[in-house]
Amino acid sequence: MVEVKNLSFSYRKGTRVIDSVSVKIEKGEFVTILGHNGSGKSTLAKLLVGLLKADSGEIYLDGRILNEDTVDELRGKIGIVFQNPDNQFVGVTVRDDIAFGLENRCYPREEMLRLIDEYSRLVNMEKFLEYNPENLSGGEKQRVAIAGILAYNPDIIIFDEATSMLDPKGVREVNEVMSQLRGKKTIIQITHNLNEAIASDRVLVMKDGKIILNDVPEKVFREKETLKASRLDILDCMKLIEMIEATQGLKNKKELEEFLWELTFRK
């Protein structure tokens, strides 16, 4: 369980990147955070894993407050997959990379080998254990990153645009792993793609460091104006509905053609 109370943060004095955010995420929930570039999603994620220290407000993980004294211990409860597959691959081989988090927590070697075996299988990377990152695709590297986090068994996993640098195949592979984890782990997915949010239990929309919407996807997607105001692209199906509504006022074929023409090239 994650509980954030009145959290504020700024990199430089004066501009609040996170502005009095309060939110509660239940155990086992799958939550998507949406927001335009620079809305503060990654900053919030870094605050949650203790990479940044809040100016004010509190974060509770499983009821325990996150601060300088508890951060080393609470990091075992939470893991984060970042956007760039290359910049989070620490090991020289897949095996070493999955081991990294375990080595840091002083797991004995036998235990490490067992966990590496188990979790490399779970993400379908068991045949690549001796590979170097140079010989892996982006999707494969992200799956290794996931295995490296799962191995030390945190309750909460944050995916910060983990698929945005991948090709379609990589996106599919990572999403598959993510859906396997559903219900077993608390998942916080960060994206600016609304289509990726449909399947989640709850959607949070961020704008200028504030959470402006916090509801089930069906309700959030109905807030067309708010979504547009936070510069988010709306869902494809919503676009279709909008289009059909707009055509009501058209009188003849020529106007319809004109309208479709504009629609296609407006973007």
Ligand X SMILES: Nc1ncnc2c1ncn2[C@@H]1O[C@H](COP(=O)(O)OP(=O)(O)OP(=O)(O)O)[C@@H](O)[C@H]1O
CB of 114 vs Mg ion, minimal distance in Å = 34
Q: Which does 99 bind (CB under 5 to 8 A by kind): ligand X, Mg ion, another protein, none?
A: another protein
| 39 is a contact residue toward ligand X (CB under 6 A) | yes
CB of 181 vs Mg ion, minimal distance in Å = 21
Q: What angle do CA 173, 199, 160 make, to 5 degrees?
A: 60
Residue from 65, 92, 240, 246 binding another protein (CB under 8 A): 92
| 175 is a contact residue toward Mg ion (CB under 5 A) | no
| 175 is a contact residue toward ligand X (CB under 6 A) | no
Rg (CA), the chain: 21
Q: Which is nearer to another protein, 49 or 204 (CB)?
A: 49
Torsion, Cα 79 214 41 122, to 10 degrees, reads 30
| 42 is a contact residue toward Mg ion (CB under 5 A) | yes
Is 196 within 8 Å of 168 (Cβ atoms)?
Answer: no
Residue from 40, 79, 138, 217 binding another protein (CB under 8 A): 79
C-alpha 211/C-alpha 23 separation (Å) is: 8
Which pair of tokens denotes residue 58? 């509190």
Q: Which does 194 bind (CB under 5 to 8 A by kind): another protein, Mg ion, ligand X, none?
A: none
Query: Which of the ranges 30-38, 107-115, 143-151, 246-254 carries the binding residues for ligand X, by CB under 6 A?
Result: 30-38
C-alpha 179/C-alpha 65 separation (Å) is: 29
What is the per-residue DSSP string for 34-51?
EE-TTSSHHHHHHHHTTS
| Beta strand residue intervals within 54-194, DSSP E | 56-61, 64-65, 78-81, 156-160, 186-191
Q: Which does 17 bind (CB under 5 to 8 A by kind): Mg ion, ligand X, another protein, none?
A: ligand X
Q: Which does 106 bind (CB under 5 to 8 A by kind): another protein, Mg ion, ligand X, none?
A: another protein
User: 60, 61, 49, 47: which is closest to 19 by C-alpha?
Assistant: 47
CB of 89 vs another protein, minimal distance in Å = 7
Query: How many residues are recorded in the chain?
Result: 267
Q: Which of residues 146-165 bind ligand X (CB under 6 A)?
A: 161
Q: Which of residues 118-157 bind another protein (CB under 8 A)?
A: 130-135, 148-149, 152
Q: Which does 108 bind (CB under 5 to 8 A by kind): Mg ion, another protein, ligand X, none?
A: another protein
User: 175, 229, 237: which is closest to 206 by C-alpha?
Assistant: 229
Q: Which residues bind Mg ion (CB under 5 A)?
A: 42
Q: Which residues bind ligand X (CB under 6 A)?
A: 11, 17, 35, 37-43, 161, 192
